[in-house]
Each structure stands twice: as C-alpha cells, then as structure tokens.
C-alpha cells in the first residue's frame, strides 16, 4: 500500500513529541513539527513526488535530512529514528502534551517521579492525590490537571465538520444505491452545521428497513457494528466516526427529521410549546386527541404550531422559536451570495499553489474577486514577505489582472499584529494594499486586558481592514485568545474595520456565538477561506454555514457586495 501523506505527517509529529519529552533542542523539535504540518496540508501525494524524483527540499522547511527521512518512510513504511525513540520513551507519554499546562518538561518529570506512562496513569495519580505532594505542583495544579484531562478526553471524541462530511457523504451514497430509501438525510449536529460533530445521524424513510440496514453494515468503510436493528443501527467507521442510522416510515419523515436534527434543547422547547397548545409531539408526529395532525414535513409541524420553519443552523433554543412565532426569523446569508474571498496564501509563503492557480480555481467556484494575502515577514518559518517581496507580487497581480477575465485579484497581506500592537509592515507599504488582514500568530499568552489593548492598537491603524481569525483557536488543539470582545466590536463599528470569519475547518473563527454577539453591537464581517492551496478554497462554504449559525444576513457580510461597492465599503475614512 502506498504511504499516505497523513501517515508521514503522523510519524514526524510523533518524532517531535518524543524528542520534546527527551528534552531535545527547541529548533530540532520545531523542525519536525512543522514538517508534519506541511505534509498533512499537501494534497499531492508525497509518494508521487518521490517517485517522480522531485526535489523535496524545495518545500519550505524541508532540508536534506528531512528529505532523506521522507524517502525512508516512503520506501519502508516506517522510520528507524521513531522506533529508537519509542524504545526510549513510553509511547503514551505524548498524550500528556495535550493537557493544558503540561509541557514536555513536566511530562518527563511526572514519568520519572511517579512512573506515569499515559493519560490514564496521570489521572490515577491525580485522583490519588499523588501529584500535589510533588515539589512545585500543589493541590491547585492537580485540580487543573484533572480538568485538563477531562477536556482532552471530551474533544478527542469530536470530529471536524469537514472530516465528518468527507466520511458521511460516500456512506450516504452507498445507502442510496440500494434503491430502497425514499428519503435519505443527514440530521443531528451535522445538519445544524456545527463546527464539530460528535456522531453522524442519518434518517432514512423506507418500507424495507432490513435492506437498508444490511447495506449499512456491509459498507466497506465500516469498522465495527455497534448495534443492528431494523429501525436503528449504529456503526463505527474506519477512522472512528460513529453513525446512527434510523429508518422511519415515509409518512413520518418530517417528524423524525425534526426530532433527530435537534438540538435537544430546541426539541424540548418545541415540545413544551406544543403541549401548551394542546398537542403532543414526538418523532412519529404532532398529535391531538389521538390523531396525528402533522408528520410528513417539518414545515407542516412548525406551521401547525404557528411557527415559521426554522433553518437547522438556528435550532439551538437561543431565541429562534420566539422569532419564528413572531415571523421574524432573519433571512440568512446563502452560499451563493458570496462574491469574494479575502484571505489566501500562495507558494510565495506557506501556500502550495501559484497566484494564477488560486485565481482560476476561485473563479470556478463562483468568486468575482479575491485578495491574495501572503504572510508578512514576522512569520519567518514560512519566509514571510517584506516590502520588496510584496512589490514583486504586485507586478504579478497586475499582469494577471490584465490577462484574466471574470475575476479580479486584489493586493492584500496577512500582517502580523506584533506583541506591542504595532503592525509588521511600515505604513507606506501598508498603504499600497487593497485589503489588509491583521492577525495574531505569536505571543498569544497574554491576559485579556493586554490582548485587548494590543489588538485595539493594531486595528486603529487606518490601513487595517480585517481582524483575521480573531480568536486564534484550533479546534481540538488550542483554545481561544482572551480579549474584551465588546470593546473590539465597538472599535470596529467606530473605525470601520471588519471581523473575519475564517473558514478553515479547524479554525472556524470567529466562533458562531461570538459572531452573533458582535453583530448585535453592529459589527460587520467578511467570510474568507484562508486557503493554502486550491483544494482548500471550497472550504469557504463552511464559513457561510458558521455565519448562518450566527444569524447573519447578506447585509452583515461585506464580500457579498459587488466589487465596486465592496471597495467603497472597505475603505476607512
């Protein structure tokens, strides 16, 4: 079997973790970590590149040494260095690195002094109160560690929406091919388009449940059948994602879809409303006096209760039923409302593809304009650009704009917000851009007041247009930056800058709850892909999903405007 990029990336990540626990040099640890990240992001198989004799050292951060190791993995499927490290360091110790507040140093220390070998061992030690007795730890630290372990265990169970999409779609097609399902839909948090999902819920309508379930358990991608019945079956797919399949009779499709779309809190509030009006509601329908009065469609059920149909993204019991009763639900932004994409990277920094390739693919996806926003120089590891670097790129932009029809390329940058709140490029350079996205990448560990001041200072620069991935979170890996979001929202309205909704699956940032909150203060947004290759440009749709979950309409989002109006609107006074 050819070695997948993800496998190579995993090996490098493990090497970096183990080296770190061993106390190896910081730069060495980081080199492996970055190589892992880079390889995971490539969508061309490395195997092909090696076979075609391509020079791997042309990839950022890959030197001769790492290129040799990649070749070794491609040829043998494993890496000798990793085997040696695993013989020296217990493999489970790397799990400890996930726990907030536990770095490699402490992981090594807990191993040496308490014999801890993995996360479960760490929990046992904490529960037994053995950690608080160690010098330099204390009861408070022990509690923090316990809380951290719980978080790690929770988040390990959730999947990024895009990953769940990629696994669920072919499975759904497989079920469809039986020809036995009349209706077939994804429900649950997936249908509500949450950034992460715990499991996948599929509703099928059929009079032949057995055939559907036989097909389900016979699917290639199934690793384990958790339970099988004619009405409900649960399987676990390879890769760990669990899928619940429920078969209901066609006349109950709407009520089943409604019930299993949730969220649970929405269901409960809806049922309470039904009861107040003298009905009962369950997955089989809306009933009154022993009769089923609505079941086939969701619209029918909501309608009977005097409610507008509620878009799944809003079903969280967060005011949507009250609005639906007043017929005042917002007209949510739609995927094809987006005309622009204002954040993406090319091969000049940490992207993979050329400006031309990015522009042509964006055009195919229906974008009318894009901003190219390669990193500024502070991001040294990806060779961020300086004034001259951008000047070269601008020439390329001008030439392409002359040549290409149907898409306009705007000159942009993703400029680092430095520790003291200044921007990583001088004002004269900044003035030359059409769009400046400002982001925090380094020195994240600040308290809320400091971070608020830092961002406010950066965004006060009249050349700044967009606050990029404002919370800086990485789902399942890194929590949000702390700041006073009300002060940022207020400044954005006053000064005319915008919050980004970064649609990278592991970012999804601003988070939906923050976006809804700042909207109420009058803040406005752009939705961007932050793509690092052409394959990632389509992720922008996830950003629209997020915007919908935040109750945003077309008017809230700047890149729904035609180019000329967009250019007027993004200018600051």
Q: Which residues bind ligand DGT (CB under 6 A)?
A: 188-189, 194, 197-199, 201, 259-260, 262-264, 267-268
The residue among 17 and 374 lying less far from Zn ion, judged by its C-beta, is 374
Three-class HEC string of 251-269: HHHHHHHHHHHCCHHHHHH
454 vs 424: CA distance, rounded Å? 13
Q: Which of 188, 209, 300, 389 binds Ca ion (CB under 5 A)?
A: 188
From the list Ca ion, ligand DGT, Zn ion, none, which binds 272 (C-beta under 5 to 8 Å, kind-based)?
A: none
Closest separation in Å from C-beta 242 to Ca ion? 7
Sign of torsion, CA 138 144 150 156?
negative
Residue nearest to ligand DGT (CB): 262
Collapsed DSSP state (helix, strand, coil) of residue 371 = strand
- 114-144: b or e for each residue (b if 16 or more CB lie within 10 Å)? bebbbbebbbebbeeebbbebeebeeebbeb
Q: Which of 376, 393, 439, 542 binds Zn ion (CB under 5 A)?
A: 439
Tell me the per-residue interface mask from 422 to 461 with Ca ion, x by CB under 5 A, - otherwise. ----------------------------------------
The residue among 109 and 199 lying less far from Ca ion, judged by its C-beta, is 199
How many residues belong to the site for Zn ion (CB under 5 A)?
1
On the question of a cis peptide bond just before residue 212, with omega within 30 degrees of 0, the verdict is: no
Residue nearest to Zn ion (CB): 439
Burial (Cβ within 10 Å: 0-12, 13-18, ≥19) of residue 213: buried
From the list ligand DGT, Ca ion, Zn ion, none, which binds 439 (C-beta under 5 to 8 Å, kind-based)?
A: Zn ion
Residue 321 half-sphere exposure, CB side, CA atoms within 13 Å? 18
The residue among 94 and 189 lying less far from ligand DGT, judged by its C-beta, is 189
Closest separation in Å from C-beta 475 to ligand DGT? 13
Closest separation in Å from C-beta 439 to Zn ion? 4
Report DSSP state, residue 463: T
The residue among 189 and 492 lying less far from ligand DGT, judged by its C-beta, is 189
Closest separation in Å from C-beta 178 to ligand DGT? 23
Q: Tell which positions 206-265 bind Ca ion, by CB under 5 A.
A: 244
Give which of 518, 553, 554, 558 is closest to 328, Cα–Cα: 553
From the list Zn ion, Ca ion, ligand DGT, none, which binds 264 (C-beta under 5 to 8 Å, kind-based)?
A: ligand DGT
189 vs 313: CA distance, rounded Å? 9
Give which of 21, 31, 95 is closest to 62, Cα–Cα: 31
Provide CB contacts within 8 A for 435, sequence distance 6+: 342, 371, 373, 410, 411, 412, 465, 466, 570
Closest separation in Å from C-beta 164 to ligand DGT? 9
Q: Tell which positions 70-109 bind Zn ion, by CB under 5 A.
A: none
The residue among 189 and 528 lying less far from Ca ion, judged by its C-beta, is 189
- Contact (Cβ atoms closer than 8 angstroms) between residue 243 and residue 234: yes
Give which of 282, 324, 328, 329 is closest to 306, Cα–Cα: 324
From the list Zn ion, Ca ion, ligand DGT, none, which binds 446 (C-beta under 5 to 8 Å, kind-based)?
A: none
Closest separation in Å from C-beta 141 to Ca ion? 35
Q: Which residues bind Ca ion (CB under 5 A)?
A: 188-189, 199, 201, 244
Q: Which residues bind Zn ion (CB under 5 A)?
A: 439
């Amino acid at each position: 079997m050819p070695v997948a990029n993800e496998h190579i990336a995993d090996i490098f990540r493990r090497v970096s973790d183990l080296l770190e626990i061993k106390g190896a040099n910081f730069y060495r640890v980081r080199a492996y970590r970055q190589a892992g990240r880079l390889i995971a992001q490539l969508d061309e198989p490395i195997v092909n590149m090696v076979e075609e004799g391509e020079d791997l050292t042309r990839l950022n951060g890959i030197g001769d040494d790492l290129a040799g190791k990649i070749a070794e993995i491609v040829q043998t499927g494993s890496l000798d260095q990793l085997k040696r490290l695993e013989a020296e360091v217990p493999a489970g110790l790397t799990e400890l690195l996930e726990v907030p507040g536990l770095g490699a140093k402490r992981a090594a220390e807990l191993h040496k002094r308490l014999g801890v070998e993995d996360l479960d061992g760490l929990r046992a030690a904490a529960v037994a109160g053995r950690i608080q007795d160690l010098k330099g730890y204390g009861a408070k630290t022990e509690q923090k560690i316990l809380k951290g372990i719980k978080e790690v265990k929770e988040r390990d169970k959730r999947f990024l929406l895009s990953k769940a999409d990629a696994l669920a779609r072919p499975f759904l097609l497989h079920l469809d091919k039986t020809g036995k399902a009349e209706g077939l839909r994804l429900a649950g948090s997936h249908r509500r388009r949450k950034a992460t999902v715990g499991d996948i819920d599929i509703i099928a309508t059929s009079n032949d449940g057995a055939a559907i379930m036989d097909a389900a358990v016979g699917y290639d991608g199934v690793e384990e059948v958790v339970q099988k019945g004619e009405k409900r079956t649960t399987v676990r797919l390879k890769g760990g994602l669990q899928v619940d399949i429920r078969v209901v009779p066609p006349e109950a499709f709407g009520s089943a879809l409604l019930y299993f779309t949730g969220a649970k809190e929405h269901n409960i509030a809806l049922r309470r409303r039904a009861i107040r009006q003298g009905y009962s509601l369950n997955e089989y329908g809306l009933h009154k006096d022993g009769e089923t009065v609505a079941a086939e469609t969701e619209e029918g059920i909501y309608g009977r209760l005097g409610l507008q149909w509620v878009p799944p993204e809003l079903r969280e019991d967060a005011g949507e039923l009250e609005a639906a009763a007043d017929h005042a639900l917002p007209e949510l932004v739609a995927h094809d409302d987006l005309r622009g994409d204002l954040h993406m990277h090319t091969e000049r920094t940490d992207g993979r593809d050329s400006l031309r390739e990015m522009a042509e693919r964006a055009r195919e996806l229906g974008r009318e304009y894009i901003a190219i926003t390669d990193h500024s120089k502070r991001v040294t590891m990806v060779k961020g650009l300086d004034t001259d670097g951008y000047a070269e790129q601008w020439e390329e932009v001008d030439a392409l704009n002359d040549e290409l029809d149907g898409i306009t390329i705007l000159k942009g940058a993703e400029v680092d917000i430095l520790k003291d709140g200044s921007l990583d490029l001088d004002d004269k350079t900044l003035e030359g851009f059409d769009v400046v996205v400002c982001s925090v990448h380094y020195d994240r560990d600040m308290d809320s007041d400091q971070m608020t001041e830092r961002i406010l200072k950066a965004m006060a620069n009249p050349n700044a247009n967009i606050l990029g991935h404002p919370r800086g979170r990485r789902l399942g890996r890194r929590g949000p930056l702390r700041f006073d979001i009300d002060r940022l929202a207020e400044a954005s309205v006053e000064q005319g800058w915008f919050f980004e909704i970064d649609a990278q699956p592991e970012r999804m940032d601003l988070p939906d709850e923050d976006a809804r909150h700042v909207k109420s203060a009058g803040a406005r947004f752009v939705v961007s892909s932050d793509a690092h290759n052409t394959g990632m440009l389509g992720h922008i749709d996830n950003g629209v999903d997020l915007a919908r979950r935040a109750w945003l309409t077309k008017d809230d989002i700047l890149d729904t405007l035609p180019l000329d109006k967009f250019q007027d609107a993004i200018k600051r006074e």
